[in-house]
Amino acid sequence: MIEFLMPSLGADMEAGTLVEWRKKPGDSVKRGDIIAEVETQKGLIEIEVFDEGIIEELLIKEGTKIPVGTLMALINPPESIEKTKKISAPKKTTITIQPTEEKIIEKGTGEKFEEKLFKVSPLAKRIATENKIDLSQIQGSGEDGAITKEDVENAIVQQNKVAKIPKETIESIKEKSTSQIESIRSAVAAAMSKSNREIPHYYLEKRIDITKTLAWLRATNHQRPIHKRLLPAALLIKAVAQSLVNFPDLNAIWENGIQIKKEINIGFVVSLRGGGIIVPTIHTANLKNIDEIMEVLNDIIPRARAMKLRSSDLSDSTITITSLGEGGADAVFGVIYPPQVAIIGFGGSSQQPFVENGMLGIRTVFTATLTGDHRATDGLTGSDFLSALNKHLQNPELL
């Protein structure tokens, strides 16, 4: 049986509210299908499945707030549907008695929790199981924070309130846009505070002549109808992704040490009109050509601004790019989005006196910056990366 868990949509996300199941038991699903809609700080997110099979059971009620990692549904893989039915009972026993797993799965409660995290009386535990209460969500009032029978009974009262959310309330969840701006603000605040608390940042900048780059872009766009035209952002994303191939230490996450990521998934900062930012992912950007990256941007930016993203749009970024666009500040020194280890920033371009080969000329120039996590890399790595990025930008036709 495949366990479908509440996915994490970034370091700043701890929980979400299940608004609607899009599938029911017995429905078959394949990778990429939307199984549910979950309200998060980043708006209403469509949650995708990553496995193929038939929905066996949906374990969470619509309207329930659930932490990241919660068991939400059980999916039967296609090849073992017959087999799984027969062995499902003994399988459950096996999991329960395996002490090395440090956790048990209470089928029926729909929740997954670590037993060692809290103390609970046997009576309270039994009542909780019978009433499908997640013990990990209860603040114990007994000795040493132990969960008592009364705590569980209070939780049952709370759960019944949640379960009785009328349809109108669920509809209003979809519409609350002002509070959405506030929740985006607090999501950004949480992630950036964590970053500033935990990550020792170092900062580098490089002035890059992009006259040739923009000329190539103009020539390319000149031959294209308007809906096929490229924006500089697509080229910058490709150049960063291509440069990262030779700097794997920057395409990584820090979790008890550096973990280098195979896929280069670029998080691209999109500012929202009401304030705040959202950072959708461009997956395997080094394997896409500039046209394909532009197609992704055309799809993802309007959806990000409308706060209509899917779970895969917000997951697995391995590095972030923030680009200010023309007319704004000259340089941006980003704050790393944890658990990533670097963020690349592009300032606005302008015409400037620029010396090349002993000749002074007027060139279009911008400042590229790299903020690195000093636990993961040193300034030299970042510096070499910016030089490689410069080389790629001087040869846009090769990207």
Partner 1 sequence: MNEVEIKEIIFQLLKQIAPDTEPSQLKPNENIRETLNIDSFDSLQFLVSLNEKLGIEIPEEDYGETTTLNNLVNYILEKMKI
Nearest to 314 by CA among 19, 48, 36: 48
Return the number of the residue (113 or 268) whose C-beta is nearest partner 1: 268
Cross-strand pairs, 73: 4, 58
CA pair distance 205, 189, nearest whole angstrom = 25
- Least Cβ distance, residue 305 to partner 1 (angstroms): 8
| Residues counted in the chain | 399
CA pair distance 91, 95, nearest whole angstrom = 7
- Least Cβ distance, residue 325 to partner 1 (angstroms): 5
Q: What are phi and psi of 336, to 5 degrees?
A: -65, 140
- Least Cβ distance, residue 94 to partner 1 (angstroms): 52
- Least Cβ distance, residue 273 to partner 1 (angstroms): 5
CA pair distance 50, 44, nearest whole angstrom = 19
CA pair distance 313, 336, nearest whole angstrom = 19
Return the number of the residue (123 or 306) whose C-beta is nearest partner 1: 306
Query: Residue numbers of the site for partner 1 (CB under 8 A)?
Result: 218, 221-222, 225-227, 229, 231-233, 271, 273-274, 297, 301-302, 325-327
Return the number of the residue (27 or 182) whose C-beta is nearest partner 1: 182
- Least Cβ distance, residue 297 to partner 1 (angstroms): 7
CA pair distance 181, 242, nearest whole angstrom = 34
Cross-strand pairs, 270: 278
- Least Cβ distance, residue 226 to partner 1 (angstroms): 5
Residue 255 CB coordination number (10 Å): 9
CA pair distance 341, 258, nearest whole angstrom = 9
Nearest to 150 by CA among 162, 161, 141: 141
Return the number of the residue (297 or 321) whose C-beta is nearest partner 1: 297
Return the number of the residue (167 or 222) whose C-beta is nearest partner 1: 222
- Least Cβ distance, residue 365 to partner 1 (angstroms): 18
Residue 31, CB half-sphere, CA atoms under 13 Å: how many?
2
> How distant is the alpha carbon of residue 176 from its chain centre?
22
Return the number of the residue (218 or 391) whose C-beta is nearest partner 1: 218
Return the number of the residue (26 or 327) whose C-beta is nearest partner 1: 327
